[in-house]
Amino acid sequence: MSKLVTIYGGSGFVGRYIARRMAKQGWRVRVACRRPNEALFVKPYGTPGQVEPVFCNIRDDASVLAAMAGADAVVNCVGTFDRGGKNNFAAVQSEGAGRIARLAAQQGIASLVHISAIGADVNGASLYAQSKGEGEAAILAAYPTAMILRPSVIFGNEDGFFNRFGAMSRLGPILPLVGAQTKFQPVYVDDVAQAAVKGILGEATGIYELGGPDAESFRDIITKMLGVIRRRRLVLNLPFPIALIPASLLDFASFATGGIFKNSMITRDQVASLRSDNVVAPGAKTLADLGIPATDYASVIPEYLWRYRPSGQYAAIKESAKNLKKA
């Protein structure tokens, strides 16, 4: 019988790419998530029955244990940007990660891969970074041979980065950025998936920081994106003290409504995160150490950001028509 990998959060942005690659490797894939009925799109990644979504709540030992029953490898892709509620930073990124590692070690699982983030640090400036750091510490304490991947901002068709700012660019002539000079090193989602596969197959262990070929300022990255979507916008840097005002108001609104209103715009914790560069640290092991060429975001984003162009999918046709008229 073929080997089995359980991917916690396997229906998410990164998890689905890992699931697809593992199916191509011939493995059976168990996609553990909170709403398996909304993850049926993963089933066609393999032959009938090869990729199956199952229910799992990573806050519960029995649920996590049931999802990894019989698995040869496990991957943890679960993460959150929610500071409050039941699925908060501590419950998901610290305790949840540690729970998966502890149970995987007890069950004798052959390999464990954990998706963390650049900047993970128990003493980090943001609660997000601290919880990621706590999660890494809990994983290594229970499962010392785990592979931990720390990506910079991840891009790809379903990303929450370029898609978010592409959508924002349609709202008006000004595009405000918090931390416009902060540097990022965008990494392609499928490159992250390839790295995870190396860990699942037992070909690599340890901590790797994943970034693309270029580290650029937030402003420069968004300016390039605007060129791709054919929009002229004034990219305005919003100073951190000023950004804290709307972030605090939005956070309070979320707290006052008991989470009914979700602050998906900007939080105080995100403002704190944006004060630090999000790039691969000098001396860190990277994609190159795994033999994976880093993909340039500029070569990929035109494939999916066309929807944010003024003429959408017809932009290329209209541009071609203009050239015909000139001729």
Q: Is the pLDDT of residue 320 over 80?
A: no
Q: What is the CATH topology of the domain spanning 4-158+187-213+278-294?
A: Rossmann fold (3.40.50)
Domain boundaries, the chain: 4-158+187-213+278-294
Question: What is the amino acid identity at position 133?
Answer: G
- pLDDT of residue 324 exceeding 70, the answer is no
- Using the predicted structure, report yes or no on whether residue 114 has a pLDDT greater than 90: yes
| Cα 80 from Cα 93, distance rounded (Å) | 7
- Model confidence at 126, pLDDT cuts 50, 70, 90, reads very high
SS3 61: helix
Residue keyed to tokens 């300016």: 223
Instruction: Read off the pLDDT of residues 128-144 as tens digits, 9 standing for 90 and up.
Output: 999 999 999 999 999 99
Q: Show the tokens assigned to 16.
A: 């689905």
pLDDT digits (tens, 9 = 90+) for 270-300: 999 999 999 999 999 999 999 999 999 999 9
pLDDT of residue 327: 55
Instruction: Output the DSSP codes for 214-260.
Output: --EEHHHHHHHHHHHTT---EEEEE-HHHHHHHHHHHHHHHHHTTTS
Alpha helices in the chain (DSSP H): 13-24, 61-67, 89, 97-106, 127-142, 162-168, 189-200, 218-228, 240-256, 268-273, 315-326
Q: Cα 263 vs. chain centroid, distance in angstroms?
A: 18
Rounded CA-CA distance 33/41 in Å is 13
Instruction: Name 161's Cβ contacts closer than 8 Å, sequence gap at least 6.
Output: 153, 154, 155, 186
Strands of the sheet containing 111-115, edge to edge, are 51-55, 28-33, 4-8, 73-76, 111-115, 147-151, 206-210
